[in-house]
């Protein structure tokens, strides 16, 4: 009977579950509506606090929100099942009824937990510290990664931590936040950051650590002593954390000199889990890509806040974002490529390109390649793509200057000749800015340009498939390189920054246009026939190598446009250059050559020449049959260490635009002969830099013809210690294009512009000199300077003035009229000197935004007075 009763009870319960299913579903819907309302309120509060007050959600709040999402999904499935089974009193209804009752209990409990009586938020991780950071991309994912790394660091049993993930996922960004948190928290001691990179070895790693802790290891060659010195220095620091960023291979810590013990921790970032294993990391943290929602938020942010997408375009944009697979670097790159694109056809095409891209690139994750290849394909022209690919010829983390990079593009023929160097430079800057804007190149401080290592990998792989590029830059290639390393179809080869001793044989490379060999020992030189079958070669870079002579086969490179030999200090001989009629750029700076290379007078297309050999410069400047005539088309000249009384050869160069003269013995830049000369001197010169000329008396001796220096824009004169003045008043007032003047550390200079001689009929000190384009005026450390100019200089465009260390200067003859364009200025000196200054224009002083500073003596007196007062106060207190 009891058994039958139990069966009856169970039957009633089952019947009740089935009969009350609809009623239970209604209860569940009501409870879910209340839970969802609670969820919405919490999300709004979190977003407001994060944006306005710099807070973030507590871990328990984040977990609660995740559970709400899970139960919402489960309830949706229950409703779907109910719609299928209908109202039949069958077993599925009973099972579903049980599930609904259980879910009601879970929702009620979740509502109760969501009250959060102690609040929703906590402070964000501190941003203080010595390293600049960008904000974390992806709130949940990035913060979860950061918190996991931090918790692992706080574990006393863990000494080595590996942070790994694919390139561009944000490992370095997370670690900069960790670095700053270590610095501000103080509980883990000092944080030491070292960027390792691909071509590092133990010595470079030791040097990197030593630089941070201010330990001198550069003169220490013995491996054991280096290790011991570093070991002892680190032990003295007590607690510390070393962050090794961007590791590509493992190193035995004991060989580096990193001590063992629980007070020292090492965190490394790498793309390879094998590196973590090789470094014996006790904990390994994988940095994951962004969730779909985080990726979409980042994509919208990089598109720009002002960009409003139509409903149709937004659907496509979300699909485009999804194709980026959550990789921050890929998302940013694609988003910026699509900025200001509102045509739905372009978005459909973009999605199709991302979907259809194929990858057979060795060693690169499919997801990364799809994103970055897309950005490359969307560059506007083949010319821009060629400029981008050229950057991959240089070693990883190589820092270009903008000028160097654009010069390389011009010489390679990647920028069309326009007959005007300034126009070509403008075109180069336009291309460079475009590449920076789409994030395939990055501009660093001090105008350095770098290529992200992942994007460099992409560029190398693109050109490897033909094969057309061979790039082995900075990877430790040693010994001799023979014919077998040079493929017949190759177009560009970079072997720079290696340990190559010799180049042998006679490679057959009829298509080779660029060969970069700089910074290799090449102590065994190059075989004589090496360049015989490189007829298309345009760029040959042998700078900073140990070669003693160039092989004769260089003489036959008739298409050569750039020859770089700078820093080849052992070089004694250069073969004839007579056939190199297309040569545009020749750099012979800091070489050991003793004679002028034969055939230089045949270089009819030479536009830039850098030379520091006294023998060469003497021949260039010589008169008569022994002189070496520079081609009239030359536009940039740099001369160093010449022993000449003047550079009269320059007066023949009617197209010269830029000239640097350093460490030369001349008295005058130009010595103008009789006044019957009708050719103006340097009529096209725009930039003139005169530095370390110990005998220089001035720019010109004699009267220059009209039109001389007529285009001069920038004038720099520094460390010319017998120079009493720079130029005559007659010449100065003709410089209507002048934009900047910088005169520094000329210890004997008494006046910048030489005044008129007494009795001169033209002497009229009331005449104003107009320099309409002058923007910058700098005088620095001119200890004897008494006068700038006897006349008033009217410069309405001036935006920068800097006068420092000119104690005897009594008058500043600058006038701005009614202009208020001056935006920055520094005139340093003591107050007595400042108050005694005379001004030709009384408005000038009031218009200058000045920075005044006490002199060293004044500051010293003030410090002593403060010290005496402090001692007296202490004694009185005692």
Q: Report how far apart the first and last C-alpha atoms of the chain are (Å, whole number).
A: 101
Burial 542-578 (b: 16+ CB within 10 A, else e): bbbbbbebbbebbbbbeebbbbbbbbbeebeebbebe
For residue 132, give the nearest of 189, 169, 177, 193 by alpha carbon: 177
Which residues have CB under 8 Å from 369's CB, separation 6+?
Answer: 357, 359, 361, 458, 461
**Contact between 241 and 159 (Cβ < 8 Å):** no
Residue position matching structure tokens 């009267």: 703
- Give the distance from CA 17 to its chain's centroid: 68
Query: β-strands 514-516, 562-564: how paired?
Result: unpaired
**Contact between 414 and 383 (Cβ < 8 Å):** yes
519: its two tokens = 């910074």
Whole-angstrom CA distances from 733 to 274, 676, 727, 729 are: 69, 22, 10, 6
For residue 88, give the nearest of 18, 20, 31, 29 by alpha carbon: 18
In the chain, what are the helix, strand and coil shares in percent, each to the nearest 5? 40, 15, 45
For residue 801, give the nearest of 833, 767, 828, 839 by alpha carbon: 828
Which residues have CB under 8 Å from 330's CB, separation 6+?
Answer: 168, 324, 367, 368, 370, 371, 372
Q: How far apart are CA 514 and CA 386, in angstroms?
A: 13
Whole-angstrom CA distances from 697 to 671, 703, 714, 720 are: 11, 15, 19, 9
HSE-up of residue 404 (Cα within 13 Å, Cβ side): 11
**Contact between 141 and 69 (Cβ < 8 Å):** no
Q: How far apart are CA 27 and CA 102, in angstroms?
A: 12
Instruction: Give the model confidence (pLDDT) of 438-481 as tens digits.
Output: 767 878 777 789 887 667 878 887 887 766 888 888 888 888 88
The DSSP secondary structure of 590-627, one letter per residue, reads T----SPPTTGGG-TT--EEEE--HHHHHHHH--GGG-
**Contact between 583 and 607 (Cβ < 8 Å):** no
% of the chain with per-residue pLDDT over 90: 23
Q: How far apart are CA 458 and CA 452, in angstroms?
A: 10
The DSSP secondary structure of 268-333, one letter per residue, reads EEES-HHHHHHTT-SEEEE-PPPPHHHHHHHHHHHH-TTPPPPHHHHHHHHHHHHHTTT-HHHHHH
233: its two tokens = 């220095």
Tell whether the torsion through CA atoms of 308, 313, 315 and 320 is positive or negative.
Answer: negative
Q: How far apart are CA 801 and CA 806, in angstroms?
A: 14
Q: How far apart are CA 458 and CA 364, in angstroms?
A: 8
Cis preceding linkage at 467, omega within 30: yes
| pLDDT computed for residue 427 by the predictor | 93
Q: How far apart are CA 24 and CA 16, in angstroms?
A: 11
**Contact between 709 and 737 (Cβ < 8 Å):** no
Query: β-strands 714-718, 687-691: how paired?
Result: parallel
489: its two tokens = 């179809």
State whether residue 718 is helix, strand or coil. strand
Which residues have CB under 8 Å from 183's CB, separation 6+?
Answer: 128, 129, 130, 131, 190, 191
Q: How far apart are CA 117 and CA 704, in angstroms?
A: 87
State whether residue 450 is helix, strand or coil. strand
HSE-up of residue 259 (Cα within 13 Å, Cβ side): 17
Q: How far apart are CA 785 and CA 807, in angstroms?
A: 8
**Contact between 597 and 575 (Cβ < 8 Å):** yes
Sheet strands side by side (includes 400-401) = 400-401, 448-450, 442-444
Residue position matching structure tokens 């011009």: 410
| pLDDT computed for residue 781 by the predictor | 93
| pLDDT computed for residue 744 by the predictor | 96
524: its two tokens = 């065994």
Whole-angstrom CA distances from 371 to 355, 396, 464 are: 10, 21, 19
Helix (H) or strand (E) holding 741: strand 740-744
For residue 266, give the nearest of 680, 635, 278 by alpha carbon: 278
- Return the HEC string of 377-434: HCCCCHHHHHHHHHHHHCCCCCCEEHHHHHHHHHHCCCCCCCCCHHHHHHHHHHHHHH
| pLDDT computed for residue 534 by the predictor | 94
Question: Across the 878 residues of the chain, what is the mean pLDDT of every consecutive 10-residue run?
Answer: 52 58 83 86 67 57 86 85 64 75 88 77 42 62 86 88 82 87 81 78 82 75 82 82 86 82 83 83 87 88 83 89 79 82 86 59 48 73 92 88 90 84 88 82 81 78 77 85 77 92 90 94 88 94 93 94 93 91 92 84 89 72 57 86 76 86 87 60 91 91 81 96 91 92 95 71 68 92 92 87 88 74 62 78 63 48 46 43
Q: How far apart are CA 247 and CA 199, in angstroms?
A: 10
**Contact between 257 and 280 (Cβ < 8 Å):** no
């Amino acid at each position: 009977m009891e058994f039958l009763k139990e069966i009856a009870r169970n039957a009633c319960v089952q019947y009740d579950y089935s009969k009350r299913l609809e009623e239970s579903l209604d209860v569940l819907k009501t409870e879910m509506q209340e839970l969802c309302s609670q969820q919405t309120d919490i999300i709004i509060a979190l977003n407001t606090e994060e944006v306005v007050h710099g807070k973030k959600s507590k871990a328990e709040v984040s977990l609660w929100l995740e559970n709400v999402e899970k139960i919402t999904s489960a309830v949706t499935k229950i409703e779907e099942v109910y719609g299928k089974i209908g109202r039949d009193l069958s077993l599925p209804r009973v099972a579903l009824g049980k599930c609904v009752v259980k879910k009601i209990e879970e929702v009620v409990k979740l509502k109760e937990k969501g009250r959060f009586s102690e609040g929703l938020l906590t402070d964000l991780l501190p941003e203080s510290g010595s390293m600049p950071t960008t904000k974390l991309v992806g709130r949940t994912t990035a913060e979860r990664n950061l918190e996991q790394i931090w918790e692992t660091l706080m574990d006393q049993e863990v000494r080595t931590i590996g942070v790994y993930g694919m390139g561009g996922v944000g490992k370095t960004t997370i670690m900069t936040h960790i670095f700053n948190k270590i610095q501000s928290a103080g509980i883990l001691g000092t944080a030491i950051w070292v960027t390792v990179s691909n071509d590092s070895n133990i010595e470079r790693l030791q040097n990197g650590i030593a630089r941070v802790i201010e330990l001198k290891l550069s003169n220490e060659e013995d491996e054991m002593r280096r290790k011991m010195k570093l070991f002892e220095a680190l032990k003295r620091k007590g607690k510390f954390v070393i962050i090794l960023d961007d590791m590509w291979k493992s190193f035995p810590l004991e060989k580096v000199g990193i001590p063992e013990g629980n007070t020292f921790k090492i965190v490394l970032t790498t793309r390879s889990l094998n590196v973590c294993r090789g470094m014996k990391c006790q904990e390994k943290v994988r940095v994951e890509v962004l969730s779909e929602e985080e990726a979409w938020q980042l994509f919208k942010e990089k598109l720009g806040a002002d960009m409003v997408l139509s409903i149709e375009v937004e659907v496509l944009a979300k699909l485009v974002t999804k194709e980026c697979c959550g990789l921050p670097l890929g998302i940013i790159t694609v988003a910026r490529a699509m900025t200001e694109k509102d045509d739905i056809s372009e978005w459909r095409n973009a999605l199709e390109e991302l979907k259809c891209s194929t990858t057979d690139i060795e060693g690169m994750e499919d997801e990364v390649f799809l994103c970055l290849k897309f950005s490359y394909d969307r560059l506007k022209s083949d010319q821009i793509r060629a400029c981008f690919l050229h950057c991959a010829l240089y070693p990883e983390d190589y820092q270009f200057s903008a000028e160097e990079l654009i010069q390389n593009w011009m010489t390679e023929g990647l920028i069309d000749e326009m007959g005007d160097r300034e126009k070509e430079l403008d075109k180069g800057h336009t291309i460079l800015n475009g590449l920076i804007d789409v994030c395939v190149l990055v501009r660093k401080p001090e105008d350095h340009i770098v290529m992200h290592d992942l994007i460099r990998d992409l560029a190398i792989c693109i050109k490897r498939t033909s094969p057309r590029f061979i790039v082995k830059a900075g990877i430790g290639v040693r010994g001799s390189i023979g014919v077998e390393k040079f493929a017949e179809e190759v177009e560009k080869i970079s072997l720079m920054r290696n340990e190559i001793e010799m180049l042998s044989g006679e490679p057959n490379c009829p298509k080779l246009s660029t060969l970069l060999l700089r910074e290799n020992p090449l102590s065994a030189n190059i075989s004589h026939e090496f360049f015989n079958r490189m007829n298309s070669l345009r760029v040959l870079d042998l700078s900073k190598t140990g070669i003693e002579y160039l092989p004769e086969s260089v003489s036959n490179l008739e298409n050569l446009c750039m020859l770089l030999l700078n820093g080849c200090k052992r070089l004694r001989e250069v073969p004839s250059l007579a056939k190199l009629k297309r040569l545009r750029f020749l750099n012979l700076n800091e070489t050991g050559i003793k004679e002028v290379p034969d055939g230089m007078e045949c270089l009819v297309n030479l536009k830039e020449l850098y030379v520091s050999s006294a023998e060469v410069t003497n021949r260039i400047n010589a008169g008569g049959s022994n002189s070496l005539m520079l081609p009239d088309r030359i536009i940039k000249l740099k001369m160093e260490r010449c022993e000449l009384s003047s550079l009269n050869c320059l007066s023949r160069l009617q197209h010269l635009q830029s000239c640097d003269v350093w460490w030369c013995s001349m008295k005058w830049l130009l010595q103008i002969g009789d006044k019957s000369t009708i050719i103006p001197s340097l009529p096209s010169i725009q930039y003139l830099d005169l530095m370390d000329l110990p005998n220089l008396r001035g720019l010109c001796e004699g009267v220059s013809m009209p039109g001389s220096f007529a285009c001069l824009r920038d004038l720099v004169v520094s460390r010319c210690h017998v120079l009493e003045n720079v130029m005559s008043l007659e010449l100065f007032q003709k410089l209507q294009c002048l934009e900047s003047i910088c005169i520094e550390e000329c210890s004997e200079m008494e006046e910048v512009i030489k005044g008129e001689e007494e009795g001169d009929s033209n002497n009229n000190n009331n005449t104003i000199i107009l320099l309409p384009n002058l923007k910058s005026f700098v005088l620095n450390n001119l200890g004897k300077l008494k006068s700038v100019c006897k006349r008033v200089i009217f410069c309405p465009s001036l935006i920068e003035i800097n006068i420092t260390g000119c104690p005897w200067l009594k008058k500043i003859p600058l006038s701005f009229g009614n202009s208020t364009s001056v935006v920055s200025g520094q005139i340093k000196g003591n107050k007595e000197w400042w108050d005694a200054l005379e001004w030709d224009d009384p408005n000038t002083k009031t218009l200058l935004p000045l920075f005044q500073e006490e002199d060293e003596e004044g500051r010293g007196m003030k410090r002593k007075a403060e010290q005496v007062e402090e001692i007296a106060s202490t004694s009185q207190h005692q």
